[in-house]
Structure 1
Amino acid sequence: MAKRKNITTTQLALMTAAAVISLRGLPMMAQEELTMFFYIFFATFLFLIPAALVGAELGSAFADKGGGVYTWVKEAFNRHLGFSAIFLQWIQNVVWYPTVLGFAAASIAYMIGVPALAQNGLYVGLFSIAMYWCATLVTLRGTSAISGITSKGFLIGTVLPGVVVIVMAVIWMAGGNEIALKEIPATVSQVVNVDAAQHVHPRLFPHITGMSDIAFLAGILLLFAGVEVHAVHAPELTKPQTQFPRAMFLAALISFGLFTLGALAVAIITPYDQINLQSGLFTTFQIAFERYHVGWLTNVMGLLVAFGALAGVMSWISGPSRG
């Protein structure tokens, strides 16, 4: 019988981080300006870290029984509830796949120099279907193939563009350019406060006025979801009891760092009225690169980000489907 191929702590951490992080969330948080820190810290300390702790504990405890949400719920209750839990984790992606693949379609549109395609429904739909099937075919090759492609895709297509936008923000400030974070329109009451002298001050805490603001917080939490999704691969670690918790905390640390610094970088470079949820990240790249006469790098970033989005899709196809 062929010997089972094991995956490493770093590979599992990168697979998990790829499931959690998507650069498409950076413009969404950047639109909140300085209140983004409240949302990020709220999501990190009340959701991401507790989820990582639970995933680390249960993933290492039940590694010999298969791991994953199905096993955890089955052991606590019964098989029927275990199936319900893993089915819910799997079916949620019906909504998520089109959004992230639409972001990948926008990335390719910027890569080929036709950004208007990002708003073309036929192009986005056909691209999303084709990429989903490509990801499915790769996933069918097994965990060793997935871990290699997902890890590299995450590093090249998510971490690298994230680091680039952070570095560009530092260069932007060092070059004396206008910091968009300081020029927020006074009409955007949810992120600024206007005093009696008509001076505009950025809010540090969100202006909660109704259920819509609370619903937005749920959207922020969703950006940090998925840290438990690869617990099904715990048995493929050499020493799951020690390696799995390390992988969870490494993934959580990478997620927090990229989300926080990346969203701040977008808010520093991009004027508020130009932040777009579909293509906002590429607007940031375009503004920064054209300022320093290297606009062609936007096309390169488009290709890399599309690769990273595809790695994220593969990561989500793998975990819940295996479960």
Structure 2
Amino acid sequence: MSTNQKQLRWTNIGIIAFSMVWGLGNVVNNYAQQGLSVVTSWIIILLLYFIPYALIVGQLGSTFKDSNGGVSSWVEKTTTKKLAFYAAWTYWVVHIPYLAQKPQGILIALGWAVKGDGTLVSSLPITTVALLSLAIFLAFLYLSTKGLSTLKVIGGLAGSAMFVMSILFILLAIGAPAINSGVSLATPHMDKLSSYIPKFDFSYFTTISMLVFAVGGAEKISPYVNQTKNPAKEFPKGMILLAAMVGISAILGSIAMGMLFASNNIPEDLMANGAYTAFQKLGNYYGIGNALMIIYALTNTVGQISALAFSIDAPLQILLADADPEFIPQWLRQRTAKGTLKNGYLLTGILVSILILLPVLGIGNMNELVKWMTNLNSVVMPLRYLWVFFAFMMLNKAHKEYQSEYKFLKNRKAGFAVGLWCFLFTAFACLLGIFPKMELDLSSKAWWFQMISNILTPIALILLGAILPIIAKRNKRSKPTEDTKPVSSI
């Protein structure tokens, strides 16, 4: 890369990374799990997990700067093509629960924008919600096959607006008592240190997966490592800036939530409606009614729609664009004359539809549905981060073969140890995240439904990936010349 292309400074890296990683939902969801004590949890997770995670991504991205496949390319370079397939499969398949949750988010956002509260959706039977969500998903699944470039651009703008709203939320909430003398703090004793100390019991450790889920995704930063003016010096500064921005946003955002919602009496619907209620309260404090809430609801609606459309296509393209015939069956790689991965879309549609309809069997209301889907995502989504740390461990074992402009740790044993720590911590969080975030009641149908589905969903999705190479081998034996044909001509 020529010098004049390396224009990004450490401040640019930090801001770009922050917009990729952070959002208001991270604050709301984790406050709903832990209350005001989440402030201490944020400090711990940032120091012990997020900072090394971001710097690990920096070294991997710098080492394999010419690789376009992201995590799967890193795994292939450091190990084997087979493991690279599983990394690519994991990256795709963890988006299935994410896609299943998006239609619900769209319904909730529209309900707040139209009616001004959360009752439009919460009053509906869970079967109706599931069917409406399925209809929304199938509509966008079909539209994604036709191309949604305009919507994705609009969604990008909406995403930027939501990012601004997330920062505005903190500023408005923290400043509210100074502007409006009638504002009282919802959480008592916010001036006492004891209010911020978690109770480190089993229930607490089951919520760690949500924190990991919130700060994950730093691997998206990797393409920018070698666009930095001086990667070895400026990229670490950018990551430190990122950590500082995330830390400030998480801590101040959580304090702001404590000012608006009592930490010792967290509303049951906080995950579903917390962000909207928060903006509604702030609008009332500042004398502008529902204006802030409506703006947030509308931008969130468009943002959710765009995220749904983009997340149907992008992960599928990563998995199948350069799919190895040895591991991906020919039928799954089939394209239409326009290049659409028709069977890939079909498989996505089947898996997501099952997850959308599954709550009918064991979820009683909308609030529990949102909690379950959010927690399920916090169990499944971090599985892709495991491959980042695995690749870093393998890189440290093969350190003499690869050179990098930026190195997180020069000592390969220390690098391997940090990669192993992050790997084990992620696995630990995912494992404990399986337990439902509700009061233990072995006679509760909802408790058992969430427990069983949290176990079976990741197992089923991973096993499906293990079956594909077997099918691919059988296809090659029965049709040895099949893969010599251009796939795009099918």
TM over 0.5, shorter chain: yes
User: In structure 2, what is the Cα distance between the partners aligned to 1:314 and 1:247?
Assistant: 34
1:168 to 169, 172, 179: 172
Q: Aligned residue for 1:51? A: 53
List aligned pairs for 1:235-246, cutoff 5 A.
242=231, 245=235
User: In structure 1, what is the Cα distance between the partners aligned to 2:92 and 2:281?
Assistant: 38
Deviation per CA, 1:16-35: give whole Å up to 9, x if none: 54553342232233343331
Checking the alignment, whether the CA contact within 8 Å between 1:90 and 1:320 is kept in structure 2 is yes
Q: Which amino acid aligns with 1:167?
A: L
Q: Aligned residue for 1:116? A: 119
Q: Aligned residue for 2:197? A: 205
Q: Aligned residue for 1:283? A: 277
Matched, 1:73 2:80: no
Larger Rg: 2
- Larger RCO, structure (CA 8 Å, separation 6 or more): 1
Deviation per CA, 1:31-62: give whole Å up to 9, x if none: 43331122112222222222211111111221
Deviation per CA, 1:242-292: give whole Å up to 9, x if none: 499489736555544433322321221223435411111111122222244
Per the TM alignment, residue 90 of structure 1 is displaced from its structure 2 partner at its CA by 1.8
CA 1:302/1:182 → structure 2, altered by over 3 Å: closer, same or farther?
same
CA 1:13/1:150 → structure 2, altered by over 3 Å: closer, same or farther?
farther
List aligned pairs for 1:264-275, cutoff 5 A.
264-272=255-263, 273=265, 275=267
User: In structure 2, what is the Cα distance between the partners aligned to 1:129 and 1:46?
Assistant: 42
Per the TM alignment, residue 74 of structure 1 is displaced from its structure 2 partner at its CA by 0.7
Give the ranges of 4+ consecutive aligned residues of structure 1 lying more than 6 Å apart after TM superposition: 10-15
Per the TM alignment, residue 180 of structure 1 is displaced from its structure 2 partner at its CA by 1.4
Per the TM alignment, residue 88 of structure 1 is displaced from its structure 2 partner at its CA by 1.1
Q: Which amino acid aligns with 2:161?
A: I
Q: Which amino acid aligns with 2:167?
A: V
Instruction: State the superposition RMSD in angstroms.
Output: 4.1
CA 1:20/1:320 → structure 2, altered by over 3 Å: closer, same or farther?
farther
CA 1:213/1:178 → structure 2, altered by over 3 Å: closer, same or farther?
same
CA 1:101/1:263 → structure 2, altered by over 3 Å: closer, same or farther?
farther
Gaps (5+ residues) in structure 1? Answer: 1-5, 185-199
List aligned pairs for 1:1-323, cutoff 5 A.
17=18, 19-31=20-32, 32-113=34-115, 115-119=118-122, 120=124, 121=126, 122-123=128-129, 126-127=132-133, 130=136, 134=140, 137=144, 151-157=156-162, 159-174=163-178, 175-176=180-181, 177-182=183-188, 202-210=194-202, 212-229=203-220, 231=222, 242=231, 245=235, 249=239, 252=243, 254-272=245-263, 273=265, 275=267, 276-297=270-291, 298-310=293-305, 313=308, 320-323=315-318
CA 1:213/1:73 → structure 2, altered by over 3 Å: closer, same or farther?
same
Number of aligned residues: 297
Checking the alignment, whether the CA contact within 8 Å between 1:63 and 1:241 is kept in structure 2 is no
TM-score normalized by structure 1? 0.74
Give SS of 1:106's match: helix
Deviation per CA, 1:204-232: give whole Å up to 9, x if none: 3211222x32111122111111111464x
Checking the alignment, whether the CA contact within 8 Å between 1:34 and 1:202 is kept in structure 2 is no
Higher mean C-alpha deviation, range 44-53 or range 300-309: 300-309
User: In structure 1, what is the Cα distance between the partners aligned to 2:15 and 2:273?
Assistant: 25
User: In structure 2, what is the Cα distance between the partners aligned to 1:240 and 1:85?
Assistant: 30
User: In structure 2, what is the Cα distance between the partners aligned to 1:201 and 1:224?
Assistant: 25
User: In structure 1, what is the Cα distance between the partners aligned to 2:304 and 2:244?
Assistant: 20
Gaps (5+ residues) in structure 2? Answer: 319-490
Give SS of 2:219's match: coil
Q: Identity across aligned pairs (percent)?
A: 17
